[in-house]
Structure formats: C-alpha cells, structure tokens
Homo-oligomer: A and B are copies of this chain.
Amino acid sequence: MSYDLLADFGRPLRWGMVGGGTDSLIGETHRLAARVDGRYQLVTGCLSYDPAIAKRSAEVCLLEPSRSYTSFEAMAEAEANREDGVEVVTVCTPPHLHAAASEAFLKRDIAVLCEKPMTKNLAEARALKETVDSSQAKFALTHCYTGYPMVREARALISSGAIGAIRQIECDFVSGPFLDENPDRSKRHWRFLPEYMGTASILGEIGAHAINMISYTCGELPQSVLAKMVTLTPGREVADDAQILLQFPGNRIGRMWLSFVATGSEHGLAFRVFGDKGSLQWRQEQPEQLIHTPRGEYARTITSGHLDRLTPLGAHSCRLREGHPEGYVLAFANLYRDFADQIIGSRLGVALNPHVSTVPGADEGVETLRFFEACVRSNDAGSTWQNL
C-alpha cells in the first residue's frame, strides 16, 4: 500500500524540472500531475534557457532564486553537490535536448522522468538506453495516456486473455487544433520545424503516443509498417497528417492515423482492439469508459472506480469511486505516483507493488524511435512495407 511508503519515507521527493517554464504548455501540466499525490516537492529547475523567462518561472513556481538555473548541466552539477540536492528531474524540453538533459542527471544517479519521444532519433535513443542501463537511477517516459485507469484496465484484460488472440489493432491520434501555419517562422512550435525532428515530427509528437498505446495495452509491436505522410496546411514545412498500416506476426493487421489538422476534432486519441474472443475500445475524450464486447454477448461499459470489479492494475490506478471522472491530470499523476513509489520503495528497500512498474521506460523509448524510422523509410520509398 503506497501510503505506507510515503509515511515511512517521511517526506516528498525533492524534484526539479528541465524545461516547463511559463512559456511552456506542458510544464504546468507536469506540475499539476506531480502535486496531486504530494510525493514531489519542486525545489529546483532549469525552467528556461532564457534568463528572464527562467526568473519569472522560478517566481511563480516558488523556487529559491539560487536553485533556478539556465543550464541543465549546471543544474545537474550543482544539485548533485548539495546535501539536499534534487532526487528526481522531469525533462520536458523539446526532444532534441532530451538525451543530453537526461544523461546529465542519470550519470549523477538522479532519477529522470522524460517527455516523449525519448530522443530525436534512434541512434540517440539507443545511446540513452545504455546510459539508463548503467545508471543507479531510475528512468521513465511520460506517456501520460497510459496512466488512465481504463487504459490500464485494457492492458490487464488483454493480458489475461479476456479478448483472446488479438487479430486487428487500431490506434489513432486524429486531432485538429493546428489548422494554420504561423507565417512568422520564428514563432512556430518546434514540431513544425524540420530542424528538430525532421519533416516527420508528427511521428515523434503524437505517433509516439499511438505506438506506445498499442505496445502498452496489447503487449506487442508491429513487425512491419507502411506509411503515407502528407502536408495539408499551406506553408507548412513538415508532414501534418499520416496514414500508417501495421502488420503483426501471423498475418494480423492494424492501422494508425495521425493528424494535426482534422478540422473540428478536439483530441482524437482512440483505440480499438479485436481478438477472437472479444473486443475493447476506448477514446481519450471519454476516458472513464472502456467498451468490452465479449464474443456473442452485448457490449459492456467498464467504468473507472469500481474497486470491487476492476482488475488489480485498473483498481490501483483509480483514486475516485465510480461515477467520478478521474480526468487527464489524474491519469498523468498515476505515472508520477508510480514512479515516485518505484524510487521511494527502492530507497526503503521494500518489495515493490508490481502495479507501479508499468510506467514506460527506455525500452519503450527505443521501440518508438524504431517505429518512427521504419515509417520514414516506408514513406520515403513510396509507401512500401518496412520492418521495424
């Protein structure tokens, strides 16, 4: 029981952030998620490389000025030398910095929670995984959607055989908010600039979530992929829409649609998995419901909060009773909570609750980049099948 862990530890973890200043959208979401369970106290940060933004960000985050940095390397070194130095760091910079920032802390045995995609390319991912493997510190990726109780319930149900052998998998991320390109190139988000992740940055940005969702819930990856990417927005330099076919061992199939420009769509992450004994479907916009249709029976709406009926992993991931929507931040917080419990439990030397170990890590980071590169190869070769 995780309460005991925290009580025994007696204090929250000392937490820092690299990236996530006041000019970042995702930074505040990390803070919301980290605060929910009281296991993290923000004590330091390299919240921006821009001194003015870093200063202001430190003020609103109530950091001591002396522990606000503008270089993650400096932060890592200074904090590693403090008695009360940071114990765990969130890296939420643009992806081209993930590897360097993560390594700065991992080398000093400071745990890292890194945004996805793990790195900007596969070579970096493999190198970072080696660093992770040789570090004493823990490492995880914030594939936030895997924190939803119903996503975790899907993983547990599939692994228990509830839908039999999987035959078809669909995971889409069809969103709509980026319908215009900013004429001022200097104001474009990194995802729309090829210098950060190439012209296929959509794969790293949202494809990373989709492929990890398949891997997380179904426990497997496609063996080969076929991709078609297009740019639908005038003036845009990168692909903003991608259609991908998936082939799984045994001639089983799947598909993925990634879009930044599906007009009117709000978010659009969803999956459907069909097995020979049943199916599951889930949509991020209605996340407390998992539709389970056992073969030959009516659809059942599995809902969060039913501690007496959910699988142990599903129940572990709910904070509220049935009928009370957990929402996105609590899903995200499940990753923070589970990662904290991994760290604290290992510090205290107690046997870990196995449910805290499903947070994606370096292996999943490498997987995602392998998928990314196979899709790029396929698209570049005119949409041919490419092995991962």
Q: Please list the residues of chain A having a beta carbon within 8 angstroms of any beta carbon in chain B.
A: 3-4, 6-7, 10-12, 22, 25, 28-29, 31-32, 35-38, 56, 59-62, 163-164, 167-168, 170, 175-177, 179, 226, 228, 230-232, 241, 243, 245, 247, 251-255, 257, 259, 261-268, 272, 274-279, 284-288, 292-303, 305-306, 308-309, 319-330, 382-385
Contact = CB atoms under 8 A, between A and B. Distances in A.
A383 B226 CA distance: 9
Oligomer: number of copies: 4
B252 A232 contact: yes
Nearest to A322: B266
B325 A167 contact: no
Given A241-B168, A252-B232, A325 B287 contact: yes
Contact of A253 (B167, B228, B272, B327): B228
Contacts of A321: 25, 177
14 contacts: A3-B22, A36-B329, A262-B279, A263-B276, A264-B278, A264-B294, A264-B299, A265-B274, A284-B324, A284-B325, A286-B286, A298-B301, A299-B300, A300-B301
A299 B301 CA distance: 6
A324 B168 contact: no
Contact of A243 (B38, B245, B285): B245
A251 B261 CA distance: 14
A323 B175 contact: yes
Nearest to A9: B62
A60 B302 contact: no
Given A11-B62, A327-B328, 7 more contacts: A6-B62, A7-B59, A232-B251, A259-B274, A265-B279, A297-B309, A298-B301
Nearest to A170: B257
A12 B385 CA distance: 56
Contacts of A265: 274, 279, 293, 323
A320 B329 contact: yes
A324 B267 contact: yes
A7 B168 CA distance: 46
